Amino acid sequence: MALEWVVLGYAAAAEAIMVLLLTLPGLEGLRKGLVAVTRNLLKPFLSIVPFCLFLLMDIYWKYETRPSCETPESCTPTEHIRHQKSVMKSQRNALLIAAALVFYWLLYSVTHLVTRIDQLSQRVERLKSRD
């Protein structure tokens, strides 16, 4: 199951880099090409949403079927440490899922805003050239 988390991590990192490049000032020459690339990648990146839901259900299933070590006497020290590691990994993976979804939403919103700003600036230029 580690491969799914690696793929999700790389996707979230790619989304974060694209959001960062779209929002950095001073990259106007590069921004048009980057917006075109990002708009073409938004549909394939949409597959992250059901993928995250699947991984979230996996975390929930692991949570429901894990052995409970509520008291130190009910488990051996090895089982107790394994239980704590499992809980920490689940929390880390839940944060990764949340980050991937938030970065996708940010990428979609920023791309939409940048294209809207470009359309409005073109409209302003057309109106200025008429007068």
Distance CA 89, CA 57 (A): 15
Say if residues 56 and 97 touch (Cβ distance below 8 Å): yes
pLDDT tens for the chain, residues 1 to 131: 688 889 999 999 999 999 999 898 888 888 888 899 999 988 888 889 999 999 899 888 888 877 776 766 777 888 878 878 888 888 899 999 999 999 999 999 999 999 999 899 999 999 999 87
Q: What pLDDT is stored for residue 78 in this prediction?
A: 83
Distance CA 73, CA 77 (A): 9
CA 40-45-50 angle, to 5 degrees, is 145
Q: What pLDDT is stored for residue 1 in this prediction?
A: 60
Q: What pLDDT is stored for residue 72 in this prediction?
A: 65
Say if residues 52 and 9 touch (Cβ distance below 8 Å): no
Contacts of 115 (CB under 8 A, 6+ apart): 35, 39
Q: What pLDDT is stored for residue 124 in this prediction?
A: 95
Q: What pLDDT is stored for residue 14 in this prediction?
A: 92
Contacts of 19 (CB under 8 A, 6+ apart): 103, 106, 107, 110
